[in-house]
Amino acid sequence: MPELPEVETVKRGLAPTFEGALIARVEQNRPDLRFPFPAGFADRLTGKRVTALSRRSKYLLADIDSNDVLIMHLGMSGSFRIEAGLAEDLPGQFAHPRNKDPKHDHVVFHLETTAGPGARIIYNDPRRFGFMDLVSRPELAAHPYFRELGLEPLGNELSGATLARLFAGRKMPLKAALLNQKFIAGLGNIYVCEALWRTGLSPQSPAGMLATKSGRPAKKADLLAANIRAILEEAIKAGGSSLKDHTQTDGTLGYFQHSFAVYDREGEACRTPGCAGSIARLVQSGRSTFYCPSCQA
């Protein structure tokens, strides 16, 4: 499933076309994706203007001038592509074939934009684990999708002191705590593995080790917070990590996977300077964890 950097990359790719555009027509080519579309989905969007595009955790949010918010989730295999005018006039250069079967084009937004008429944003999802919904903006924060989400890791709130406050006294493994969306929203398996390696922390350590007995941040809490933010920003700059289905809106693939230090590198040499260890794999809560037993003590 795409993680926060991949969703943020998609948001930034869609924004220049989607924001400010009038939705002239919506093609809804099936009654459901992972969940049924809301009643009157296409009609509620037709003739409305997109005022803003944002992201909350792994959700894309398009504010509509009707005071509704279009919620979009990519699921396992969902992706957007932008077509401007004729199909051959696509923005960007395709580094790899798109390999997008039109039978999986489930939603097409026909837009009128300041750049000219005819722009289309197409949602393609072979596995149909993604979904779309419409929620009134005043009700958004209390909606079941969002009401229990934790802080945004790219925001100013993430710090060593915050991690200490969230995890003080908790015995659950550190990796499990970081993946818990009620604490921090949007962190996924790949980037948690990378942040823990960069900080020199074991994924099996109790989360409470980030706080001292007095509740103050432990020595590595500030470093972990800084590394989480840095890794996410580096991944966004690289267009995310293209593992299986993720592509950017212009069809190109993200390339942060070439920077992985531990993820999916089982048996390979650790890249920590002076470390003679090799990357190991263990399973935590059904997910693969990659780490170096030598330098992540």
The pLDDT score that the predictor gives to residue 285 is 87
Is the per-residue pLDDT at 91 higher than 90? Answer: no
Has residue 123 been placed in a domain? yes
Is 171 designated active site? Answer: no
Q: Which of 5-14, 104-113, 235-244 has the lowest mean pLDDT?
A: 235-244
The pLDDT score that the predictor gives to residue 238 is 78
Has residue 59 been placed in a domain? yes
Question: 224 and 126, same structural domain?
Answer: no
Q: Which of 3, 6, 8, 194 is catalytic?
A: 3
pLDDT, tens digit, for every residue of 211-248?
A: 999 999 999 999 999 999 999 999 888 765 544 444 44
Q: Which of 58, 81, 198, 265 is catalytic?
A: 58
Is 2 designated active site? Answer: yes
Question: 135 and 195, same structural domain?
Answer: no
pLDDT, tens digit, for every residue of 168-192?
A: 999 999 999 999 999 999 999 999 9
**CA–CA–CA angle 69, 187, 242 (5° rounding):** 90
pTM: 0.85
Question: Number of structural domains, the chain?
Answer: 2
Has residue 129 been placed in a domain? yes
pLDDT, tens digit, for every residue of 264-281?
A: 999 999 999 999 999 999
Question: 23 and 127, same structural domain?
Answer: yes
* Domain final position from 107, 139, 171: 139
The pLDDT score that the predictor gives to residue 92 is 35
Q: Which domain holds residue 123?
A: 4-139
Question: 178 and 123, same structural domain?
Answer: no
Is 287 designated active site? Answer: yes
Q: Which of 229, 268, 287, 293 is catalytic?
A: 287
Question: 125 and 22, same structural domain?
Answer: yes
Question: 130 and 166, same structural domain?
Answer: no
Question: 166 and 135, same structural domain?
Answer: no
Has residue 266 been placed in a domain? yes
Q: What is the CATH number of the domain that holds 96?
A: 3.20.190.10
Question: 16 and 135, same structural domain?
Answer: yes
